[in-house]
Amino acid sequence: MVADVLFLTELANAGCITWSQREHLNYILQPRDRNVKLIEFLTRRSVAHFKKFTNVLAKEQAHLVPVFLNDGGENGVLFHVDIQQ
């Protein structure tokens, strides 16, 4: 849980999610439910916010980045976002 709180703080600091969204996510006890809600928050934001998310994710949990880009997910495409700089 501590790692999740730190990761959510990094996301809020980077502007990927709002501080109120971070607080809301902190109150969700089950990691799966927290991840589902985080994805919901991210899909409501802009492509620029999603790019910030993938940048934070690359620093914190780089092995997960391919899941969110192109066809990196085992169960099909989760997102297809061109985040070229």
Convert the pLDDT of each residue in 32-60 to its tens digit: 899 889 989 988 888 888 888 888 888 88
> What is the reported pTM?
0.71
Give the pLDDT score at 24. 94
Q: What domain range is 36 assigned to? A: 2-68
Residue 45 placed within a domain: yes
Residue 77 inside a domain? The answer is: no
Is residue 84 a part of any domain in this protein? no
Q: How far is CA 69 from CA 9, 29, 38, 51, in A?
A: 22, 27, 16, 10
DSSP codes of every residue in the chain? -HHHHHHHHHHHHHTSS-HHHHHHHHT--SHHHHHHHHHHHHHTS-HHHHHHHHHHHHHH-GGGHHHHSTT-STTS-S-------
Q: Is the pLDDT of residue 77 over 50?
A: no
Query: Is residue 43 assigned to a domain?
Result: yes
Q: Domain for residue 76, yes or no?
A: no
| Domain-embedded: residue 31 | yes
In a domain? residue 83: no
Structural domain tally of the chain?
Answer: 1
Q: What was the pLDDT predicted at 17?
A: 92
